[in-house]
């Protein structure tokens, strides 16, 4: 019997055998190797609930998902990620209908990724703790945690860290969508091997180039914080989400 979780992860793990070369090559770390191994082991057991297929068409706020994505304007984008690791924050209106919005934590350097995810957990400590206590290690059954998009944006922008806030076209998100239990977020933030997460589709840009763009974004925001806050507050009143890429 086919196991969609295992099949999906095995496809990604197999990519590790491909030689990765060129500028910006980043070696796999022991931590990331352990995280991949853990994901694959968990997926072998179809009764496992820590890494599970999310079958409901509506994703749960505040959870981390891994899925395959095909960008609509892939031929024009400077870079995009075929396998986002998305901290899902809800839905926002778009020109073509409803869009999924969240933080693709792949775009953050490992240190920043760890810091940001931990801060978000701290901001919403009570609901996350309650959800884990009620349904321990159960990715699907754990209660969603509603994270206010603007509140989070403002908190991240205090440090210029909203670089990875992105929207996704629902029809371009491929199944299966894998959901990780809240207890296992530490595994998600260690999935930083560039051959897999993110599986970049680029035009001459490597992962370390994106990390440099992140640093430039932080610098730019800090230098223009007041002006950006005025724009964001105005968009909030108008219920516009132009600050999301």
What pLDDT was estimated at residue 135?
A: 97
Residue with tokens 């998009």: 149
Tokens of residue 133, six digits: 């206590």
Q: Angle formed by the axes of helices 125-134 and 110-123, to 10°?
A: 80
How far is Cα 2 from Cα 15, in angstroms, rounded to an integer? 20
**Domain residue ranges of the chain, discontinuous segments joined by +:** 4-237
Burial class (CB in 10 A: 0-12, 13-18, 19+), 181: buried
Are 57 and 78 contacting, i.e. CB atoms less than 8 angstroms apart?
Answer: no
What pLDDT was estimated at residue 180?
A: 92
Mean per-residue pLDDT over the chain, rounded: 76
Q: Which residue stretches of 15-77 are H helix?
A: 30-44
What pLDDT was estimated at residue 189?
A: 79
How far is Cα 116 from Cα 119, in angstroms, rounded to an integer? 5
Q: What is the DSSP letter of 27?
A: P
pLDDT tens digits, residue range 101-122? 999 988 888 778 888 888 888 8
Tokens of residue 195, six digits: 């051959």
Lowest mean pLDDT across 83-87, 165-169, 195-199, 221-225? 195-199
Tokens of residue 92, six digits: 């926002």
Are 67 and 129 contacting, i.e. CB atoms less than 8 angstroms apart?
Answer: no
pTM (two decimals)? 0.79
Q: Residue 183, by phi and psi: left (phi above 0), alpha (psi -120 to 50) or beta? A: alpha
Q: Greater confidence, 30 or 152?
A: 152
What pLDDT was estimated at residue 175?
A: 84
Please report, in angstroms and rounded to a whole number, the separation of the first and last CA atoms in the chain. Answer: 40
How far is Cα 23 from Cα 213, in angstroms, rounded to an integer? 15
Q: Which residue stretches of the chain are H helix?
A: 4-14, 30-44, 110-123, 125-134, 149-157, 185-188, 207-223, 225-237
Buried b (16+ CB within 10 A) or exposed e, 146-162: ebebeebbebbbeebbb
CA 169 to the chain's CA centroid: 15
What band does 21 get if pLDDT is binned at 50, 70 and 90? very low
């Amino acid at each position: 019997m086919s196991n969609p979780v295992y099949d999906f992860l095995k496809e990604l793990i197999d990519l590790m055998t491909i030689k990765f070369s060129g500028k910006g090559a980043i070696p796999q770390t022991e931590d990331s190797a352990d995280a991949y191994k853990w994901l694959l082991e968990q997926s072998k057991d179809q009764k496992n609930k820590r890494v599970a297929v999310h079958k409901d068409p509506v994703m749960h706020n505040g959870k981390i998902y891994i899925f395959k994505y095909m960008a609509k304007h892939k031929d024009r984008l400077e870079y995009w990620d075929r396998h986002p690791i998305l901290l899902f924050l809800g839905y926002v209106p778009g020109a073509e209908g409803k869009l999924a919005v969240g933080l693709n934590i792949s775009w953050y350097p490992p240190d920043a990724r760890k810091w940001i995810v931990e801060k978000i957990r701290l901001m919403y400590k009570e609901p996350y703790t309650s959800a884990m206590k009620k349904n321990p290690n159960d990715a699907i059954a754990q209660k969603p945690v509603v994270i206010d998009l603007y509140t989070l944006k403002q908190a991240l922008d205090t440090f210029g860290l909203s670089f990875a806030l992105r929207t996704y076209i629902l029809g371009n998100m491929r199944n299966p969508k894998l959901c990780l239990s809240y207890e296992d977020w530490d595994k998600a933030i260690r999935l930083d091997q560039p051959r897999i997460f993110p599986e970049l589709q680029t035009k001459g840009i490597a992962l370390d180039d994106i990390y440099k763009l992140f640093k430039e974004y932080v610098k730019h925001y800090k230098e223009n914080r007041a002006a950006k806050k005025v724009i964001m507050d105005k968009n909030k009143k108008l219920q516009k989400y132009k600050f999301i890429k």
